[in-house]
Amino acid sequence: MATIDWLTRAQRISQRLERLAEITDEPGRLTRTLLSPAMTQATRLAGRWMEEAGLQISSDFIGNLIGQTPGASGKQVFLIGSHLDTVRDAGRFDGALGVVLGIELADIFRSGSDLPFSLWVAAFSDEEGVRFQTAYLGSRAFCGLLHQEDLEVSNREGSLRALLAAGQSQIDLPTGVVSGNQLLAYFEVHIEQGPVLEDRNLPVGVVTAIAGQSRFRFNWTGKAAHAGTTPIPLRRDALLGAARFALQVENACTRFPGLVATVGELNVSPNVSNVVPAQITHSLDVRHQDDFVRAAAVAWLGNEADHIAAERKLSLERLTVQETASVACDQKLTGELAAASKFVTGASLELPSGAGHDAVILSQLCPVAMLFVRCRDGLSHHPDEFVQLADIETALRTVAKFIERLGRAEGGT
């Protein structure tokens, strides 16, 4: 590899992240969701950067952006990727760092002549799942793992099918952008979204596994009544039932060590100050690295919900939005990545991911690996999310060394 000005390249990554952070659907805060105007604009900008890095770009029906090394037919694909969508009121590094850093790596390995594989960069359109409360729609479509029934997910604006169909009665889902036998591996750079690296004073860490995740939508139905005239014992208050359940969600995290569970979204109807709440819809997110423990916790929470509903004379409906199993990162890739980290930083820390990532979906087609980058205070999904320029540079150098090592290993030299 020729002499590289790593700092200048890290500065370009930082500047591009700032530029992407200006593109939002909500003035005053960063929000980009699936197929929104801001997502379209951000994807178009990232596509221009991919072309400047020598990649040939294409997109699919759900808005994924793919940059391919030209003239590398017949070679397996080493895919670097992450997502450009965000949560509401997001930080500028979650997802976007992996995409922009991947584009910079494509520029570094522009010719690709020394690599026995083809380097691709993916910018997925939906990882966070904000628009329809179900994650990974982008990477699932990329892998050909999106099915007709998946298009029925909906929000107040309608279904995913209606959003994609644009007046058509039927959507023919493609088989995917690549097949499993084309993919050598999938690799993702992501901020840690936790405090471990900062606590250990390390810029990067090697991910060993990704926790499994269950997502649900709960609908509690009671009866609206006058807040001033209806005695407490005669009320069927849906909000109090949901609130009681939310406390049990917290208790589950003590009962099942290592579990994290969250009620993060809540809708109240009729949402009037002097009316007893008649209906509550809320989310439930349950995660654990051990799928058996996660399943046991979900079952316990289901029983608790049923007891609360019966006790308070509420009807209850539970909808499973998403189930993803825990994923182990590939040992060979992880070993090469750890060696690269040690070469660049003098240390190598292995740690699991409690958050979900597109690697969860790609693992169904190929081996996966991930590198975490230190974030200030372990903060993520927040406007104050921050990664130091020096850590961006270290991550870039580490991944470049990783690709070099992988190239030698795959090339047999």
Instruction: Tell me whether residue 201 is in a domain.
Output: yes
**pTM given for the model:** 0.83
Domain-located, residue 349: yes
**In the predicted model, is pLDDT for residue 229 greater than 90?**
yes
Q: What is the mean pLDDT of residues 199-210?
A: 96
Res. 413 pLDDT band, cuts 50 70 90: very low
Residues 37 and 141 in one domain: yes
Residue 155: what pLDDT? 83
Structure tokens at 175: 């088989």
Partners of residue 318 on adjacent β-strands: 218
Alpha carbon dihedral 375, 131, 82, 190, in 10-degree steps, equals 10
Distance between CA atoms of residues 83 and 405, nearest Å: 25
368 found inside a domain: yes
Banded pLDDT at 354 (limits 50, 70, 90): confident
Domain C-terminal end among 290, 324, 358 = 324
Residues 68 and 141 in one domain: yes
Pick from 324, 353, 373: which residue ends a domain?
324
Q: Which pLDDT belongs to residue 132?
A: 87
Residue 171 has pLDDT above 90, yes or no: no
DSSP 211: -
Confidence category of residue 383, pLDDT binned at 50, 70, 90? very high
Give the domain extent around 111: 6-210+327-411
Q: Which residues contact 201 (CB under 8 A, 6 or more apart)?
A: none
Number of domains in the chain: 2
- Are 107 and 247 contained in the same domain? no
**Residue 133 domain flag:** yes
Q: Span 205-214, mean pLDDT?
A: 94
Task: Assess whether 81 and 124 both reside in one domain.
Answer: yes
State whether 76 and 160 are in the same domain.
Answer: yes
Q: Give pLDDT tens digits for 94-106.
A: 999 999 999 999 9
- pLDDT tens, residue by residue, 9-36: 999 999 999 999 999 999 999 999 999 9
Q: Tell me how far apart the 2 most distant CA atoms of the chain are, in Å.
A: 82
Band the pLDDT of 37: cuts 50, 70, 90: very high
Q: What tokens appear for 385 in the block?
A: 């999310």
Q: In this structure, are 61 and 109 located in the same domain?
A: yes
Shared domain for 378 and 300, answered yes or no, is no
Q: Is residue 356 in a domain?
A: yes
CA distance 398 to 95: 18
Identify the pLDDT of residue 294.
Answer: 97
| Rounded mean pLDDT, 374-379 | 96
Q: What is the CATH number of the domain that holds 274?
A: 3.30.70.360
Q: Is the pLDDT of residue 217 over 70?
A: yes
Q: What is the pLDDT of residues 237-257, one digit of tens each?
A: 999 999 999 999 999 999 999
Q: CATH no. for residue 102?
A: 3.40.630.10
One domain, residues 286 and 143: no
My answer on whether 198 and 271 are in the same domain is: no
- Average per-residue pLDDT for the chain: 93
Give the residue with greater pLDDT, 91 vs 155: 91
Whether residues 172 and 244 share a domain: the answer is no
Residue 45 falls within a domain, yes or no?
A: yes
Q: Are residues 135 and 57 in the same domain?
A: yes
User: Of 324, 355, 386, which one is at a domain's C-terminal end?
Assistant: 324
Residue 182 phi, psi (nearest 5): -80, -25
**In a shared domain, residues 362 and 300:** no
CA distances from 178 to 77, 85, 120 (A): 9, 22, 11
pLDDT, tens digit, for every residue of 47-67?
999 999 999 999 998 999 999
State how far the Cα of 58 lies from the Cα of 409, in Å rounded to an integer. 30
Establish if 1 belongs to a structural domain.
no
* Sign of the torsion angle spanned by Cα atoms 246, 252, 253, 255: positive
